[in-house]
Amino acid sequence: MAFYHFLAMFPALLMAQLAAAHVHALGPDVHQLLTETAKNILPHNAADTVSSVSQDFTNVHLPGWRLLTTLAGVLWASCNGTWAMIYGLNTAYEVQECRSPRQLATTIVGLTIALALITLFALGVLAAWAKLRARLHAPAPLGLIEWVVLVLVLLFWFAVLYRFAPSLQNKRWQWSTPGALLAAALWIAATVGARFYFERVDDYHASFGRLSGVAILLLWLYVTNGAILIGGEMNSEIEKSAERRKT
């Protein structure tokens, strides 16, 4: 999961910045938003890597055919990341994949698009709050609102994932599940813990040199994806216990 999400991350950033460049005066704001979001979430070295790559992308201009190949690469890596989550959640729920190849492909593409749109919505809300915070010069309360928005978006993100990713029959929609709450809490705890470790204990610069930011980013993706699987495992155990009580 971490590998494919890493492969999709930077081409997706490139596509987002290229799309924003066609909207009047939005290009610089997108780069600033990505930089600030990375600094607020990722460990220092990983945030610097994302910011540096995002800055490089501001000067990139792709011709038509290269734009299509880059978009195809983003879709390939993103869909593989979603497939990895489906495979992991099927394992967590202890179920075999019973959907037809067409149904599975539709689920993968649909989930990829839905989760990407939810992520873009969260970034848009954070950008709007950041602009409002800059105008009002009141960082404390609006910073709290940003975290509330992030938690709500995470809960919805996990709700969509746990509803459609595992191969479960007749599973009903739930706005929130114990696994989603646990996954959101673990995701935030893993992010905060990773920032503390890599900024206060070991920044990996001695071991990886200039690649320390890349190594830290991969490890952050690894531990945060672990939160997704642990939340799915919790839902699975609760649902199996409920089924045993019914029988």
Over residues 123-173, the pLDDT tens digits come to 777 766 766 766 766 555 545 667 777 788 888 888 888 888 888 877 777
Q: Count of residues for the chain?
A: 247
At residue 238, the pLDDT reads: 86
The DSSP result for 103-115, as a single string, is HHHHHHHHHHHHH
At residue 30, the pLDDT reads: 67
Say if residue 25's pLDDT is above 80: no
Kindly state the average pLDDT of the residues 94-101.
88
Q: Which domain holds residue 152?
A: 2-246
At residue 42, the pLDDT reads: 85
* Cα angle 17-52-65, degrees, rounded to a multiple of 5: 40
Reported as a single tens digit per residue, the pLDDT across 62-72 is: 677 777 887 88
At residue 110, the pLDDT reads: 92
Q: Which two tokens stand for residue 191?
A: 């992010």
Say if residue 234's pLDDT is above 70: yes
Domains of the chain: total: 1
Q: How far apart are CA 158 and CA 180, in angstroms?
A: 5
Going by pLDDT thresholds of 50, 70 and 90, the confidence category of residue 108 is: very high
Q: How far apart are CA 30 and CA 10, in angstroms?
A: 14
Kindly state the average pLDDT of the residues 212-228.
89
At residue 107, the pLDDT reads: 92
Q: What is the pTM of this model?
A: 0.79
Say if residue 106's pLDDT is above 90: yes
Q: How far apart are CA 152 and CA 120, in angstroms?
A: 14
Identify which has the larger pLDDT, 240 or 100: 100
At residue 105, the pLDDT reads: 92
Gyration radius of the chain over CA positions: 19
